[in-house]
Amino acid sequence: MASSDGSAIESLKHWVVRFPKGHLIFDEGDGSDCMYRLQRGCARLQVNSAQGNRQIVRFLLPGDLFGLCPTRRNTAAEAVTNVVLQRFSLKAVLEEAMGSPGISIELLGAATGDYRQLARHAEKIVHLSAAEKVRDFYDWLGTRLDGAGQPAARRPPMPQRDIADYLGIAPETLSRCIRLVRSQRASATLHAA
């Protein structure tokens, strides 16, 4: 049975949980007994080195499923803003998936989408200039916020330091690129009018 938003997983028993901004939802290497769907706010997935460095691999926005790991967490998840999540028992989800093509297809679709997004992110990090990375990121964010029914915000829900870490550029470079992209868009708008 699917919910009104078309999600078969939504119909499964779940608990609503809240985490404040900056709170660790789970850590890399932790055992995995549940998965989540973000209802409100913004979270990030990251991997951490033994030296204390981090690489943000994904920003999570409303509607995103995350934390589907069979035994151990392969990333850490942290609340970027105050978040509201749906928490699903991993065992119950997998048991239901055995008899429900809708749930199985939704899980496969989410995993495939995650892989596609990570592959595209890696390709952009390697091949795009800093300004192109910033332009692409803000285009993606605007599309995602519009798709979630949220007004396009003047400021993204994540701090610039997180965006810089995600894009693999220095915070100072990010600031310069944001100014450049804004001026290019303003100029393009003036010429179009």
Q: For residue 78, is it left (φ>0), alpha (ψ between -120 and 50) or beta? A: beta
Tokens 């978040």, residue located: 83
Per-residue pLDDT at 48: 87
User: pLDDT-based confidence at 100, cuts 50/70/90?
Assistant: confident
Model confidence pLDDT, tens digit, residues 4-18? 456 788 888 899 999
Q: Output DSSP code: residue 150.
A: P
pTM of the predicted structure, to 2 decimals: 0.85
Per-residue pLDDT at 3: 43
Residue with the larger pLDDT of the pair 134 and 12: 134
Model confidence pLDDT, tens digit, residues 137-168? 999 998 888 765 555 556 799 999 999 999 99
Residue 130: how many other CB atoms lie within 10 Å: 17
User: Helices 130-147 and 171-192 sit at what angle, rounded to 10 degrees?
Assistant: 70
User: pLDDT-based confidence at 53, cuts 50/70/90?
Assistant: confident
The rounded mean pLDDT for the chain is: 88
Per-residue pLDDT at 24: 97
Per-residue pLDDT at 5: 55
168: exposed, middle or buried (Cβ count in 10 Å: 0-12, 13-18, 19+): middle
Checking if the pLDDT of 87 tops 90, the result is: yes
Among the listed residues 129, 111, 104, the one whose alpha carbon sits nearest the alpha carbon of residue 58: 111
Give the whole-angstrom CA distance, residue 158 versus residue 140.
Answer: 14
Per-residue pLDDT at 185: 73
Per-residue pLDDT at 88: 94
